[in-house]
Amino acid sequence: MAWKDEAINTYVRDLITPVLHSSYAKTKPLLAFLAGSSTTGLDKLGDPSVGAFYGGKAIGIGERQTLNGSKTHVWRYQKGQTDPAENVQAGSATPSSSMFAEDNVGTIGVNWTSFWCPIKVREDSVLNAQNAGSEAQARIQIASVIEEAVAQGFQRMLEKHQAKLWTGTLTSAQQDHDTQTWVDYIGVQHWCDDGVADSNMATVGGVSRTTHTELKGNVTTGLTTILLRKCRQARLTTAYGAIRQKYASAGNLIITTPTLWEKLANEADGKNQINSNDIPQFARAGFANPAIRLDDAFIVWDHDCPSGEVYVLTPEFWVFEVQRGANFMIEPWTRKWVTEEGGAFYRWTTIRAKTRLTCRRPDLQVKLTDVTTGSA
């Protein structure tokens, strides 16, 4: 049986697509929420002929198309608070504004990040497979070689990719909009910071939030012991409850580690609803992990959530994108010994993805740190 790139790539695509859906829709709560109840959105993940766009509830179709072809995901943000309203008595002078509205709006942006997964197989292994008896037997042997190569390489890519969605961080200098791609994500941990707790996270989208404080996330170390009532306080009654005043459904997704979630589940048993295997109306593939219902919020875990931390997120303002043409694209297989003199006797390819994670309203996100399972 001859090696045919088109057939091999189709087979590789069939291998990685279910892994992608499992890795995102079934185990990543933030991306499951961004996908929502769409029956077609997740099918786009891993299809190189189209891009994938999740989240951005308030972003129109036209802007989505523009963003997919852009180097930078650009949006406008409010630099500071406007003048407060004043009471005016009859016959008194009306108040005047201290600034023009257009001067109180700035521009922020996030560039793409590229992830590459190299895969190579020895030509001797391919030749052995091609001569393994009948055509049917040869096809099985070649499939076995490909399965092993893809399973090992692609799984490593996903592990790194998923971890970076949380812990990816960039310095101010690295957030240069003139570069085609950035070397890492601005991860969830970075977006939700205030730049005070960690000065390395003081810049988002190329803008200093030390200067533009409206871009700060909300950070507290006061939670200490994980309890359901403290999670409720973080959403409603503490200083961070102010996010609900800005946006009524803010903080409706709470993500923590498996260890901290288990403590909450034990407390919730018999008191709060626990969805055992999905979140109703969310994610076509079905979010696989249990979720605790707390008022109008869900509490879930993510294995990549940083240890000792709890995140109270507002998913409506998060966006995850995969660019068309780099949607976990399989490059043509190259014969190393043919393409260069003295090249080794193997074939190689890469699977690449060009992605962006954006949070348009960091001020509506809360990060709780130094949280433990200790007794109250």
- pLDDT of res. 356: 94
pLDDT value for 61: 79
pLDDT given at position 1: 55
H or E element in which residue 57 lies: none
Q: Are 218 and 365 in contact (CB under 8 A)?
A: yes
Q: Give the Å distances, CA to CA, from 291 to 39, 165, 283.
A: 21, 21, 14
Number of H helices, E strands in the chain: 10, 17
- The residue whose two tokens read 């963003």 is 67
Q: How high is the pLDDT of residue 281? A: 52
Q: At what angle do helices 228-235 and 258-268 cross, to 10 degrees?
A: 100
Nearest to 189 by CA among 217, 209, 157: 217
pLDDT tens, N- to C-terminus, the chain (376 residues): 566 777 777 777 777 777 777 777 677 888 888 876 555 566 777 888 888 888 888 787 778 778 877 899 999 988 777 767 777 778 777 887 777 777 778 999 999 999 888 888 888 988 888 887 787 888 788 888 888 787 777 777 788 888 999 999 999 999 999 999 999 999 999 999 999 978 889 999 999 999 999 999 998 876 678 888 878 777 776 666 778 888 888 888 999 999 999 999 888 876 666 665 555 555 444 577 888 888 888 899 999 999 999 999 999 999 999 998 898 888 888 899 999 989 899 989 888 899 999 999 999 999 989 898 875 4
For residue 366 the two structure tokens come to 């809360």
- Predicted pLDDT at 249: 84
How many other CB atoms are found less than 10 A from the CB of residue 206?
17
DSSP state of 60: -
Where do the H-state alpha helices sit in the chain? 5-24, 29-35, 61-68, 123-130, 135-167, 188-191, 228-235, 242-246, 258-268, 336-339
Which pLDDT belongs to residue 254?
Answer: 92
The torsion angles phi and psi of 98, rounded to 5 degrees, stand at: -85, -5
